[in-house]
Amino acid sequence: MGHWNGEIYDRINFDNLIWATNNVKNLLDLWGNHPAVFALQPVNEPWEHSDLPVLKDFYRVTRQIMREFNPELTFVFHDAFHTSGAVWNDLFEDTEKIALDTHIYMAWETPKTKISEFCDMILYYLYNEEALSIKYDMWVGEWSLATDECGMWLDGMNDEQAGFPQYVCKYHNCPESYMPAPYNIDIDR
């Protein structure tokens, strides 16, 4: 989005926003009228420190482009990790063919020792007062049952980079490919 100085954006990179908008147009040109396409989300997981007024303007522009191209498509926007009606209800006046996308990952939450605690966390995340205040349909577009960071590709492999270790990771060898030759290209072990 621009240069982040650790507290705020010093400047916004509007070239990146134009590039992203042009990619939405390209996607619509290719797939916008395909019968299998129901919805389009112009960006996945904008950072929690995104400049929200700039992000909201981007969402408004891309939704207008989508509506002009194919008014039957549902516009999906990610909540930038702010799952709250107080943040998002002013984005659009209407709610027609709009969905807010949120992502739920248990691996980066505070440690839990019982499955019921994880289930309670998910229920709280979806049914707390702020989430219930959102006027748009809410979709959980990404989620995982992983309860720690040790799994492959969550934060890398066999590491705890994010600083929320649920458990101490144990070393595991990288898995071998299950694909047949010549598609079973392996890493340099």
Give the pair of three-digit tokens for residue 131. Answer: 């989430």
pTM confidence score:
0.82
- Residue 55 has a pLDDT of 97
Q: If pLDDT is split at 50, 70 and 90, which confidence band does 139 have?
A: very high
Closest C-alpha to 20, from 50, 61, 79? 61
Number of residues written out for the chain = 189
Strands 137-144 and 39-40: unpaired
**Which residue ranges form the domains of the chain, and what is each CATH number?**
2-144 (3.20.20.80), 152-189 (no CATH)
